[in-house]
Amino acid sequence: MNAREEILSRIRRATDDVPQGERPGDVAVERGYRHADGSSREEIISRFAETVAEYRATVHRVDGDELPEAIAEALARRGVQRLAVPADLPSDWLPDGIEALRDAADSPLSKESLDGSDGVLTGCALGIAQTGTIVLDAGALQGRRVLTLLPDYHLCVVRGDQVHGLVPEAITALGEVVRDTGRAVTFISGPSATSDIELERVEGVHGPRTLEVLIAG
């Protein structure tokens, strides 16, 4: 018996007592966890900033009208000259002197162009304070998934009203997009990192090594 057959055999034994015709929806699942965060908006945003930073991401909070200046300062600190951006990114988010590499459906950037850029600037679908997670769903201001995987630096803008307190709230908010569009959803908690066989932390294997977040508003 090979590994595949062994795995399938174990699944059959574990589900041997399930009645024929029973579907997953037929069995009630206890969901006793919290579904809503009763904290104030300021508390939720502050917690989001703290938990995102715990993953070695750099976090800044700025007023909405200060966002273009904050973006310019972040890119200058990083020394960014060539910046990958989604096609619908607002022009006033792009500082003077930056070469914008716009990724559009009819003229997508090549993998070589993305890899050769100094970073990527995007918005997001939402943030989750409970886990310090940023979620992308390939919607407005985000572009294709690959756009945020190949550049080594990701500057992400999260509006204050996009931050949800708990994971269940975020999943509910994403449900319509997943059901209606089938777009890919990406959860980002800090820079890309994994551990090698010696348990040494290795960053940048599956995405950017540096994540910087601007929370606007």
CA quadruple 216, 129, 148, 103: dihedral, nearest 10: -40
> Rg of the chain over CA atoms, in angstroms?
21
Tokens of 19: 């009645």
What pLDDT shows up at residue 40?
Answer: 97
DSSP 145: G
- pTM of the entire structure? 0.87
What pLDDT shows up at residue 51?
Answer: 97
Q: Between β-strands 201-203 and 99-103, what pairing exists: parallel, antiparallel or unpaired?
A: unpaired
Evaluate the CA torsion angle 43, 44, 49, 50 in order and state its sign: positive
Q: Which residues contact 16 (CB under 8 A, 6 or more apart)?
A: none
What pLDDT shows up at residue 162?
Answer: 98
Kindly report, residue by residue over 64-122, the tens digit of the pLDDT. 899 999 999 999 999 999 999 999 999 999 999 999 999 998 999 999 999 999 999 99
Model confidence at 205, in pLDDT bands (50, 70, 90)? confident
What pLDDT shows up at residue 60?
Answer: 97
Q: What separation in angstroms does the CA of 173 have from each of 137, 163, 203?
A: 11, 11, 30
Residue that wins the pLDDT comparison between 100 and 190: 100
